[in-house]
Structure 1
Amino acid sequence: MSTATQPEKLDSLQKLELESTIGFEGKVPHGLRLHPDRVHMVYPLGCNLVIENLQTRQQEFLLGHNNNISCLTISNNGKYIASGQVTFMGFKADIIVWDYESRDPYARLVLHKVKIENLAFSSSDKFLFSLGGQDDGSIVVWNIETKEPVCGSPAQHKSAGITYCLASAKDNDYLFYSGGNGTLRFWQLDVANRKIRPTDINTGTTKRIVSLDGTHLYCGTTTGDVLMIYVPAAQFKAIGPEKKKYSMGITAMQSLVNGDVLIGTGEGKIHVTEQGTFKSTKCLQAMGEVTSLALRGNELLRITQANKTCNSLCFTRDGKIIVSGWDDGRIRGFYPESGREMFTVNDAHHRGVTAVAVTNDCKRIVSGGGEGMIRVWQLNKNSRDLIATMKEHKNAVVSIRINKSDTECVTASLDGTCIIWNLKRFVRNQVLFENTLFQCVAYHPEEYHIITGGTDRKIAYWEAVNGAQIRELEASKSGTINGLDIDCLGNYFVTVSADKLVKLWRYNEGEVFSVGIGHGSEIKKVKICPNSEHIVSVSADGAIFRWRFPKNAG
């Protein structure tokens, strides 16, 4: 057995060209923003920002934060993007102001602790107002030209609840608003004396968490109603709707040109409401809680199962079925064109279906469960019949690969073993042991080798015949190897890990020659397309990246 150490000298390596990312998690409140040019959309992916052209779908990535982005805003003239992040307890949380034209950092603003809760530019973009999170509790005013703080203040009285959001006046650089749990304040900036002076707006005795938007001051509450504040006098004016409140609270708002208000709710509904009464006139149902409202292009096919998590999926080789494994213990098949459910296998595994694969002849499904069982199912026209159960793994099965002839498969488990199974006699052929929690496994196309990756951050080559380890490579300095795949000729393989890097390797040499940098959080899975033109990777923040396979790979 030979052992090799792969140093992390990334600067000298060829970079994988990122073509696009598909989707994002959408959990950052008001994290989806439309640039004033009406052509570009901006949103966070973990610790990175994505700028996407809505016409060409071309995407650019801004890399600068060292932890997840918690909020962002765009200046009214479109010259700047400001983004804030979370960090660890006791540490400072950065704000980065980006130059939109150059896509480079313009300023890095550091005063708040732990988390940046919200950001807002003043009307002419002279100032940036920033709000710290619960562990910070302060508002700071920054001068954009000098890149220095002007002044700061606690966001609320000690007796008040937490402040969550900011909004600036539409025609005055020196006025802005803050809202939160039982607190709504009007702030006036006194630059000469370096102070901001608050005026509390009385909204009654009910404590609410509010969000601010529009030409008037509209406050969406967790109780499902809307407050209207008369801005010139900073006084409460109206509340609505009169009868039916918005279920699960108001989570996002946008005022429209005609005075109506667009409202997103915690139950996933988007309402167009009448000005003044806030009564819903139109309603659309989204797939989950609405966290941001902005213009967006058409969406690809989406398949959902309420309150269930899909752990694994694959296509049949003929492309006619999407086979998926779910945490409720069921295997589900879907039509790829419509997303309509084709079949369900109930009680496939009693601790959830954690891995699935389909044989090359499209006649059988091999599934793995959280309890460690491997099961083989016959795909008939009107039924899915269990034909074998194999139990040797002691923990969840995380990956299944089937050889070309459908005579055997290899399964990786969190129990520290990979097992090669005979799919004719349904018995174990070989078992691979290693001091790691295996996360991924793959056959070489010639099927004389199997390669694995796991929590020890190493890639191992194994003889498929006798299970002997023949090579070991250090694949990451800091992160678990979560996924790997080999190209159809067996010349290259790709790995992804918790360090947010996509690495393309030469198989025989065991050397990294190309690296993809762009994901904002831990990368979970990766695949090389059959024609070896693209690499697709997915990460924990919900992003799907498509990379161009290097043309000079040979």
Structure 2
Amino acid sequence: MSIELEHAIGCNVEFKRICHLHPNGKDYVKAVGGVIIIGDLEDPHEQVFCQGHDDFITCLTVSHNGQMLASGQQGQNADVLLWSFETKSQLACFQEQDHGIDALAFSHDDRFLISCGDIVDQRVFVYDTSSRLIMAWAQLSPKPSICVIAGGMVRDIKRRDTQEYQFASCGGKNISMWHLDHVRGELAAHQVGNAFKQVREYVCLAYTQDYEYLLAGTTTGDVAVILMKNRVVQNFLAVCGGGVANLVCTPVASGTRFVVVGGDGTVTVIAGSSPLDLREERQVRLDGPLTSLSLAPDAAEVLAVSTLGTSYLIRSKDLSIRPHSQVSPGALYDVAYLAGISDHFLTCSGDGLVALWDANDYTAKLRCGVGAPGRAHPLAACGTEDIIVAGATDGRLFCWDCNMGQNLWHIDNAHKGGATSALCVAACRAEEIRVWELKTCGAQDRKQIKKEKEKKQQKRKRKQDPDIEENANPLAGLRKWQKKALRAEEKDQKEAAQARKTAAAVKAEQKKVPPPLEDAAPSEGAKTPAAKKELRMRNAQLRQNRKLYEEPGRILLVGEGNFSFGRALCQVRGSGEGIYATAFDGEASLKRKYADAPQMRQEIEEDFG
């Protein structure tokens, strides 16, 4: 009895240039572990596997015509495999290099394949894709070479093509141009010069459409522009933070345009009339640092992969984003189906998440965390149609709702050394098995909780947007409007009653108040020194207050109510000249709020002009 691989989710996100769009426009090619996956962009169930490696695939490339694939792996058995895309079978196995392969690239006409070994192997080989023979080899330069690309044919001083093939590789602080003489079987490296004092570490390369310029991404987030005529860096352009992870040239009718992805999660479009005039055109930010980047054959989209395991299809014109697939990037510690359910399963990964996957479309329905990433991660999980239970490395047990992903409960210090298994009972590294009684609410209670949550969400939405209820139920909206009208009418009546009450109180006070601001005469009882002193202070204060309003000049009263203060001020000055009183309310509102306001205005106009 044998087990066959049916479907794989994710890719080797820790390696760059590991996921590509195929030139046919409808397929993609990526590496998961030691397997190459060829899948359909629109149908998640359509996958074909190319198996031949015995370790992680570190680099993967697709020929320009789409007929061949090439892959390299890490480890002592670091072979380079050549594949047929049409038959999905292995064409050749090149075993000359050991320890690991860092970069692969087909020539512009797919006639040759160049392979750069790692820092231990320190060799670069060129293979003939037709005869499957070694065409040339040389010592690696620079060391290591983490990126290699094809650059057409070598050109002479008059920029005419010669018979030599051209490649470019980078690594560390150096960039090398490789010239391949396939007739003599010679491969020579030429260093790129730098006219500036800046020192950069280069990680990725891309040629312009006409192969006259080479752009190199650096770990400091800028792009170096190199003129191929003299192989010298012309300038640097700052693009992103966290380093430039990858870049591709998008063909345009005139000028130059590149899409650049960075270690800070940004996707940036830089464009200009020439490579020396490149400027940032637009930028978007994704969920995490980006590594792989591939251009569609029609240049309308690019496929970008983040280190968090998410693949995006991005339109190169306006950078609109469409998620393609997602996976937990950490190591997997457990996989388990929900009890009695064959199309949903759980995974526990090293990034601290327990994910619930739907096998119908291979998407993650829920992602539940067990704590801060790096501190603890889940080791085992189990679940039913209602709940998910998982044990973590810090000895805690967690339980989540299977529908909403809400944390229902957790048990601290449930085990010593971490919970290593969960199946209604829990086992731990301390060789103990503990049985826990689950008193989590059942399906009926959970439905009730779900309904209450939906009611709360609807109530919250209605508060944010009152029109929602009116649109959903016109009668309810009418009743709500009637209630508002009644409340407004009651409020106006209360305000009018308060205004009448206030006006009556003011009139009563005015009758009691003696002529304003006259010095008070000592009464018969005020014969003690203390009483006389208090009387003198009061008279001095009255004179001081009177001076404030007797000074010549204009006075503006803002926000008068019933104009009683304005009338009092006119009485103090003996005239209304230079006094301007204003009110916030309109004529009708003023009469409704202050019943004595018309009388006050009439007295001011008749007595003081």
Distance in 1, Cα, partners of 2:126 & 2:325? 44
Identify the residue that residue 581 of structure 2 maps to in structure 1: none
Counterpart amino acid of residue 63 in structure 2: S
Residue of 224, 228, 232 corresponding to 1:231: 228
Q: Is the 8 A contact 1:126 1:143 kept in 2?
A: yes
Distance in 1, Cα, partners of 2:351 & 2:82? 44
Identify the residue that residue 65 of structure 2 maps to in structure 1: 77
Distance in 2, Cα, partners of 1:196 & 1:303? 41
Identify the residue that residue 396 of structure 1 maps to in structure 2: 418
Identify the residue that residue 142 of structure 1 maps to in structure 2: 127
Q: 1:63 to 1:425 in 2, by over 3 A?
A: closer
Counterpart amino acid of residue 99 in structure 2: V
Q: Bigger radius of gyration, 1 or 2? A: 2
Deviation track 1:437-472 (CA, whole Å, cap 9, x = no partner) reads xxxxxxxxxxxxxxxxxxxxxxxxxxxxxxxxxxxx
DSSP 3-state at the match of 2:188 = strand
Identify the residue that residue 36 of structure 2 maps to in structure 1: 49
Counterpart amino acid of residue 420 in structure 2: V
Counterpart amino acid of residue 190 in structure 1: D
Q: Is the 8 A contact 1:163 1:183 kept in 2?
A: no
Q: Is the 8 A contact 1:316 1:323 kept in 2?
A: no
Q: CA deviation at 1:63?
A: 0.6
Query: Which structure 2 residues correspond to residues 242-261 of structure 1 after superposition, within 5 A?
Result: 245-258=239-252, 259-261=256-258
Distance in 2, Cα, partners of 1:415 & 1:76? 56
Residue of 162, 172, 178 corresponding to 1:181: 172
TM-score norm. by structure 1 comes to 0.59
Counterpart amino acid of residue 285 in structure 1: R
DSSP 3-state at the match of 2:247 = strand
Residue of 208, 218, 221 corresponding to 2:215: 218
Q: 1:97 to 1:202 in 2, by over 3 A?
A: same
Counterpart amino acid of residue 133 in structure 1: D
Residue of 209, 218, 226 corresponding to 2:202: 209
Q: 1:376 to 1:304 in 2, by over 3 A?
A: closer
Distance in 1, Cα, partners of 2:20 & 2:355? 35
Distance in 1, Cα, partners of 2:240 & 2:354? 36
Are residue 372 (structure 1) and residue 395 (structure 2) matched?
Answer: yes
Counterpart amino acid of residue 323 in structure 2: E
Are residue 413 (structure 1) and residue 398 (structure 2) matched?
Answer: no
Q: 1:31 to 1:395 in 2, by over 3 A?
A: same
Distance in 1, Cα, partners of 2:400 & 2:24? 54
Q: 1:235 to 1:60 in 2, by over 3 A?
A: same
Q: Is the 8 A contact 2:396 2:410 kept in 1?
A: no
Are residue 170 (structure 1) and residue 130 (structure 2) matched?
Answer: no
Distance in 1, Cα, partners of 2:352 & 2:67? 51
Q: CA deviation at 1:95?
A: 0.3
DSSP 3-state at the match of 1:23 = coil
Identify the residue that residue 423 of structure 1 maps to in structure 2: 437
Identify the residue that residue 282 of structure 1 maps to in structure 2: 282
Q: 1:207 to 1:238 in 2, by over 3 A?
A: closer
Q: 1:152 to 1:301 in 2, by over 3 A?
A: closer
Counterpart amino acid of residue 53 in structure 2: H
Counterpart amino acid of residue 208 in structure 1: E
Q: Is the 8 A contact 1:150 1:191 kept in 2?
A: yes
Report the more deviating stretch, 36-45 or 308-317. 308-317
**Among the aligned pairs, what percent are the same residue?**
23
Query: Which structure 2 residues correspond to residues 450-465 of structure 1 after superposition, within 5 A?
Result: none
Q: CA deviation at 1:266?
A: 0.8
Q: Is the 8 A contact 2:178 2:187 kept in 1?
A: yes
DSSP 3-state at the match of 2:53 = coil
Query: Which structure 2 residues correspond to residues 509-520 of structure 1 after superposition, within 5 A?
Result: none
Deviation track 1:258-308 (CA, whole Å, cap 9, x = no partner) reads 221100101111111123344322222222221111244553686999x99
How many corresponding residue pairs? 389
Identify the residue that residue 450 of structure 1 maps to in structure 2: none
Q: Is the 8 A contact 1:312 1:326 kept in 2?
A: no
DSSP 3-state at the match of 1:238 = strand
**Structure 2 unaligned blocks of 5 or more:** 155-163, 295-301, 304-312, 314-321, 358-362, 441-609
Distance in 2, Cα, partners of 1:371 & 1:414? 11
Q: 1:132 to 1:399 in 2, by over 3 A?
A: same
Q: CA deviation at 1:390?
A: 8.1
Q: By percentage of residues, which structure has more helix?
A: 2
Q: Is the 8 A contact 1:331 1:346 kept in 2?
A: no
Instruction: Give the alignment's Cα RMSD to 1 decimal.
Output: 4.5
Are residue 59 (structure 1) and residue 47 (structure 2) matched?
Answer: yes
Deviation track 1:82-139 (CA, whole Å, cap 9, x = no partner) reads 1111113xxx510001122221111111212211111111121221111111111221
Q: 1:272 to 1:309 in 2, by over 3 A?
A: farther
Deviation track 1:338-394 (CA, whole Å, cap 9, x = no partner) reads 9999999989xx96654555666x4x7755343435577999x9x977697784x43
Distance in 2, Cα, partners of 1:315 & 1:40? 32
Q: Is the 8 A contact 1:113 1:136 kept in 2?
A: yes
Identify the residue that residue 29 of structure 1 maps to in structure 2: 16
Q: CA deviation at 1:423?
A: 1.2
Q: Is the 8 A contact 2:193 2:233 kept in 1?
A: yes
Identify the residue that residue 507 of structure 1 maps to in structure 2: none
Higher relative contact order (CA 8 A, sep 6+): 1
Residue of 98, 101, 111 corresponding to 2:83: 98
Are residue 262 (structure 1) and residue 259 (structure 2) matched?
Answer: yes
Q: CA deviation at 1:239?
A: 2.1
Identify the residue that residue 299 of structure 1 maps to in structure 2: 323
Q: 1:77 to 1:400 in 2, by over 3 A?
A: same
Distance in 1, Cα, partners of 2:410 & 2:70? 58
Q: CA deviation at 1:331?
A: 9.6
Q: 1:324 to 1:14 in 2, by over 3 A?
A: closer
Distance in 2, Cα, partners of 1:332 & 1:144? 43
Q: 1:109 to 1:397 in 2, by over 3 A?
A: same
Q: CA deviation at 1:191?
A: 3.0
Distance in 2, Cα, partners of 1:123 & 1:387? 58
Residue of 98, 119, 133 corresponding to 2:104: 119
Q: 1:217 to 1:413 in 2, by over 3 A?
A: same
Query: Which structure 2 residues correspond to residues 147-162 of structure 1 after superposition, within 5 A?
Result: 147-156=132-141, 162=144
Q: CA deviation at 1:26?
A: 2.1
Query: Which structure 2 residues correspond to residues 348-367 of structure 1 after superposition, within 5 A?
Result: 354-355=379-380, 357=382, 362=386, 366-367=389-390
Q: By percentage of residues, which structure has more strand?
A: 1
Distance in 2, Cα, partners of 1:388 & 1:195? 67
Q: 1:230 to 1:399 in 2, by over 3 A?
A: same
Distance in 1, Cα, partners of 2:348 & 2:245? 32
Counterpart amino acid of residue 393 in structure 2: G
Q: 1:410 to 1:253 in 2, by over 3 A?
A: same
Identify the residue that residue 200 of structure 1 maps to in structure 2: 191
Q: CA deviation at 1:235?
A: 3.0
Counterpart amino acid of residue 256 in structure 1: T
Distance in 2, Cα, partners of 1:77 & 1:291? 24
Q: CA deviation at 1:326?
A: 9.3
Q: Is the 8 A contact 1:261 1:278 kept in 2?
A: no
Deviation track 1:408-445 (CA, whole Å, cap 9, x = no partner) reads x222333444x26151799xxxxxxxxxxxxxxxxxxx
TM-score norm. by structure 2 comes to 0.54
Counterpart amino acid of residue 262 in structure 1: V
Distance in 2, Cα, partners of 1:20 & 1:341? 20
